[in-house]
Amino acid sequence: MNNRICLNDLVERCAQSPHLPAYESGGWGLSYGQLLTRARVLAAALGQLWPGEGPILLYGHKQPALPVGMLACLLAGRAYVPCDEGWPAARVETVFRQAGAAALLFADEAPAPWPEELPTAPLWPMCEPGIIEPLAAPRPCSPEQTAYILFSSGSTGRPKGIPVPRRALANFARWITARPALTLAPGETVVGQAGFSFDLSLTDLTLAFCGQGRLVSLSREELADPALLFRQLSASGAAVLVCTPTFLELCLCDKNFSPALMPKLRAVFCCGEVLPRPAAEKFLSRFPGAALLNAYGPTEAACAVCAVNAADALATFADGPLPVGLVEQAAVEIAALGPKGELLAEGEPGELALRGESVFSGYLPGSGDARFSGGWYRTGDSGFVKGGHVWCTGRLDDQLKYCGWRIEPGEVEAALHALPGVERAAVLPQRSPDGRVRRLCAFLQAAQSARLPEEEVRRLLAQRLPAYMLPGRLFWLDELPVTENGKCDRAQLAREFLL
């Protein structure tokens, strides 16, 4: 697929409806005309200020300058790297260096402290029309060129850089906009929960911008305050909601989350973690006229690769976990592979593997090797394919999901290990009865010196890790238990402390 056609198309459509609202968050908004004009100005400025290919870090939360920055990078043929302003500055700096970025553009304030030698600039003034001649047309790019780089938690102790090629983004856009329940008419609204450093946000961005719809991206304040949140959900008049299952369940806890609050809601797109059967049932009985899609996919394959209509799945499969997608309608080929890479038969449990346009080509150098076999990307998810449906049953490694966030305990362990006086560290999830991660628990063994007070551990850790990766409980032990092979005996820790 020629991805430039896709981008040119998008630009053309923006230009045709300049007055339609494109994006809103936290009381600020942009029309399509403003989005495109500003993105063109910024695209031209990028080439003048930082010529070359270096990726551009976009630092902020949901300010309108961020989607402008993303579109500008796509137009300029530069990869963008969304970094949430909630991340500690040290992590942003690591990401900058790992990505080999040319500059960091910030929405409100630059991260602090920040090394002087790494270029930063404020996003908004750089998009201001009238100073620089806007870029006339998107720069020609190869489909293999990186569209964006997302950084997820890394098992090696550093954030993992996942470059996603333009062909993958274009394939995702083609797939997501072909889901009938999700397609927006010009002017219709999609509400998005996720921040831009989480690729779920690509769903709401793509649905809005490809359909000339309006994206209302929930601000941090709205997400933190149920009264504000519900006011915004109601005021948005949204036709589509894009969120994690955790978010949907939180909304469902309040009986006001109903068609009376969101009368136009016709579809919810959930992705990123298990959608529990009871949550799906509750949503569908509360919103009988709306569709609920359970979608699946890793960041390595551009957000989501398959989805299933939860009402159909509930009707077809009387009990057990819900499937996560339909093979026929997937954006890529999906199969279950055995340990040697062999294709497994119907229903045989193995490792879910993906092949096709949406799949990336490998991690950034220093982020570890992606596991490919016979052209298939091995996701590390356990699952099976049966009767045209895909099931994702868990992980084959230690990777965790906490409220939709992807966490490698190894990265938290490395951060703990780097603290003064920590000899050894282990991080385990404490799960609720339905198997979901309730919190991370850290087990620490002190070196010779005194144990750091718990508050100090938390303070130092928060300088390295985003809030969602911070352990909820800390245990100082005289010694971490070890197995016969000399490894940390996680099973014993779990038995003793987490049951």
Q: Per-residue string for binding with ligand AMP, 315-334, x by CB under 6 A?
A: ---------x----------
By CB under 6 A, is residue 203 in contact with ligand AMP? Answer: no
When binding is defined by CB under 6 A, the residue of 55, 67, 143, 298 that contacts ligand AMP is 298
Q: For residues 390 and 352, is the Cβ–Cβ distance under 8 A?
A: yes
Amino acid at 285: S
Other Cβ atoms within 10 Å of 180 Cβ, number? 7
Dihedral, CA of residue 30, residue 32, residue 35 and residue 36, to nearest 10: -170
34: contact with ligand AMP by CB under 6 A: no
Counting contacts by CB under 6 A, is residue 249 touching ligand AMP?
A: no
Kindly state the smallest distance separating residue 243's Cβ from ligand AMP, in Å.
12
Nearest to 61 by CA among 103, 112, 111: 111
Q: Does 113 sit behind a cis peptide bond, omega within 30 degrees of 0 on the bond before it? A: yes
Write the CA distances from 225 to 29, 218, 219, 221, 232, integer angstroms.
21, 11, 10, 6, 11
In the complex, minimum distance from the CB of residue 193 to ligand AMP, in angstroms, rounded to a whole number? 14
Extract long-range pairs of 346-351: CB within 8 Å, 24+ residues apart.
346/385, 346/386, 346/387, 347/384, 347/385, 347/386, 348/384, 349/382, 349/383, 349/384, 349/393, 350/382, 350/383, 350/384, 351/378, 351/379, 351/380, 351/381, 351/382, 351/383, 351/396
Q: Is 194 in the site for ligand AMP (CB under 6 A)?
A: no
Told to check if 406 binds ligand AMP by CB under 6 A, we report: yes
Judged by CB, which is closer to ligand AMP: 212, or 246?
246
Instruction: Tell me whether residue 192 or residue 272 sits nearer to ligand AMP (CB atom).
Output: 272
Integer Cα distance of 108 and 122 in angstroms: 7
Q: Is 401 in the site for ligand AMP (CB under 6 A)?
A: yes
Q: What does DSSP assign to residue 435? A: S
**Given 379, 422, 440, 461, the residue binding ligand AMP (CB under 6 A):** 379
Residue given tokens 């497994």 in the structure block: 344
DSSP character at residue 129: B
Give min distance, CB of 417 to ligand AMP, in A: 24
CB atoms within 10 A of CB 447: 11
Rounded least distance, CB 287 to ligand AMP, Å: 19
197 part of the interface to ligand AMP, by CB under 6 A: no
Task: Report in angstroms how near the CB of residue 295 gets to ligand AMP at its nearest.
Answer: 6
Of 119 and 349, CB closest to ligand AMP:
349
Residue 445 touches ligand AMP, criterion: CB under 6 A: no
**Shortest distance, position 150 Cβ to ligand AMP, whole Å:** 8
189 binds ligand AMP (CB under 6 A): no
Retrieve residue 140's tokens: 């020609």
Number of residues that bind ligand AMP (CB under 6 A): 19
Question: Does 204 engage in binding with ligand AMP (CB under 6 A)?
Answer: no
Spell out, one character per residue from 137 to 176, where the chain touches ligand AMP: x when CB under 6 A holds, - when not.
Answer: ---------------x------------------------
Helix (H, G, I), strand (E, B) or coil at 20: coil
Q: Which of residues 267-296 bind ligand AMP (CB under 6 A)?
A: 271-275, 294-296
Cβ of residue 399: shortest distance to ligand AMP, in angstroms? 7
Q: Using alpha carbons only, what angle is made at residue 266 by residues 263 and 272, rounded to the nearest 5 degrees?
A: 120
Query: Which residue in the shown chain puts its C-beta closest to ligand AMP?
Result: 299
Amino acid at 362: G
Round to whole Å and give the CA distance between 373 and 351: 12
With CB under 6 A as the contact rule, the residue among 204, 222, 381, 408 that binds ligand AMP is 381
Nearest to ligand AMP of 129, 394 (CB atom): 394
Instruction: List the beta bridge partners of residue 217.
Output: 192
CB closer to ligand AMP out of 77 and 163: 163
For residue 25, the minimal CB distance to ligand AMP (Å) is 21
**Torsional class of 421: left (φ above 0), alpha (ψ -120 to 50), beta (otherwise):** left
Handedness of CA 383, 385, 369, 93 (dihedral sign): negative
Q: Given the complex with ligand AMP, which of 37 and 152 has the nearer CB atom?
A: 152
Asked if 217 touches ligand AMP (CB under 6 A), the answer is no
Is 98 one of the binding residues for ligand AMP (CB under 6 A)? no
Q: Which of 125, 435 has the CB closer to ligand AMP?
A: 435
Q: Which residue has the tokens 């894009």?
A: 242
Per this entry, what is the length of the chain? 499
Q: Strands, DSSP E only, in 194-285?
A: 214-217, 240-243, 267-270
Smallest gap from residue 447 Cβ to ligand AMP (A): 34
Residue whose CB is less far from ligand AMP, 299 or 445: 299
CB of 270 to ligand AMP, least distance (A): 7
Binding positions for ligand AMP, rule: CB under 6 A: 152, 199, 271-275, 294-296, 298-299, 324, 379, 381, 392, 395, 401, 406
